[in-house]
């Protein structure tokens, strides 16, 4: 599933090696393919957690919007 992901300056540094344009606004939005998985914390129902691949590493992403389809939500990087 393809969806928008909000990437902060810190996430850009940690996961993308400063390859994304986060300098001016401290964030940017990218569109990536997200693979859905079960919630590791057991709090959210399925469809709120997933992962993307950045520089060959698995990066967990989540969204906390209710009554929104996962592909329409804005996702964030976890950790």
Is residue 36 within a helix (H) or strand (E), and if so which, with residue range? strand 35-37
Eight-class DSSP state of 71: G
In total, the chain counts a number of residues equal to 79
- Strand partners of residue 74: 4
* pTM of the predicted protein model: 0.85
Residue 24 three-state SS: coil
Quick one: which of 60, 50, 54 has its CA closest to 15?
Answer: 54
pLDDT in tens, the chain (79 residues): 999 999 999 999 999 999 999 988 899 999 999 999 988 777 777 788 999 999 999 999 999 888 888 889 999 999 8
Quick one: which of 61, 42, 46, 43 has its CA closest to 2?
Answer: 61
């Amino acid at each position: 599933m393809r969806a928008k992901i909000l990437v902060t300056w810190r996430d850009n540094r940690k996961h993308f090696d400063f390859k994304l344009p986060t300098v001016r606004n401290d964030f940017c939005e990218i569109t990536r393919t997200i693979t859905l998985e079960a919630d590791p914390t057991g709090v959210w129902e399925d469809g709120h957690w997933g992962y993307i691949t950045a520089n060959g590493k698995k990066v967990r992403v989540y969204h906390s919007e209710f009554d929104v389809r996962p592909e329409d939500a804005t996702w964030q990087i976890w950790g």
